[in-house]
């Protein structure tokens, strides 16, 4: 019997839950919330796989597999003109995911590795 999946920790749900190409599109690509979170952390906040794994409370090898899946799905949607929908996955929100940095307004999850906004490195009041 397989071991149960451990929920992946995310800091917030995306503000935008999908994208679609101009004109007609036939197919839809489903991107899970944990795949979105890995791309957000690694591609927009420049986290390493190790930092991302610590933030999401999973193994580094799990982050690598999630990132590979997310990258392939995103490329498929862009190159083949498919709609991209973000939903699902076995995730849990951090308890303090709505806390924002006073200086720059960026969200910073105080339950995760950083209690600061990645943009300005200012501590968020807990």
pLDDT tens for 86-101 read 998 889 887 655 555 4
Q: What is the Cα–Cα distance from 91 to 43, expressed in whole angstroms?
A: 20
Domain boundaries, the chain: 8-93, 96-126
Q: Is the pLDDT of residue 39 over 50?
A: yes
CATH for 8-93? 1.10.10
Least confident of 29-43, 64-78, 82-96, 105-119: 105-119
7 CB-contact burial (10 Å; exposed 0-12 / middle 13-18 / buried 19+):
middle
Q: What percent of the chain has pLDDT over 70?
A: 75
Of residues 114 and 83, the one with the higher pLDDT is 83
Closest CA to 74 of 45, 34, 39: 39
pTM comes to: 0.75
> Cα 14 from chain centroid?
8
Q: Is the pLDDT of residue 104 over 90?
A: no
Q: How many residues does the chain have?
A: 126
Sign (positive or negative) of CA dihedral 49, 71, 21, 32: negative
Residue 80's φ and ψ, nearest 5 degrees, are: -100, 10
């Amino acid at each position: 019997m397989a071991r149960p999946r451990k929920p992946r920790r995310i800091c917030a749900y995306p503000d935008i839950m999908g994208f679609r190409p101009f004109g007609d599109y036939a197919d839809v690509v489903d991107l899970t919330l944990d795949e979105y979170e890995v791309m957000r952390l690694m591609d927009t906040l420049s986290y390493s796989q190790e930092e991302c794994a610590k933030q999401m409370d999973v193994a580094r090898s799990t982050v690598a597999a999630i990132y590979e899946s997310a990258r392939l799905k995103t490329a498929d949607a862009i190159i083949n003109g498919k709609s991209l929908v973000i939903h699902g996955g076995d995730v849990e929100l951090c308890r303090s995911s709505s806390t924002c940095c006073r200086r720059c307004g960026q969200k910073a999850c105080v339950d995760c590795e950083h209690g600061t906004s990645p943009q300005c490195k200012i501590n968020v009041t807990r």
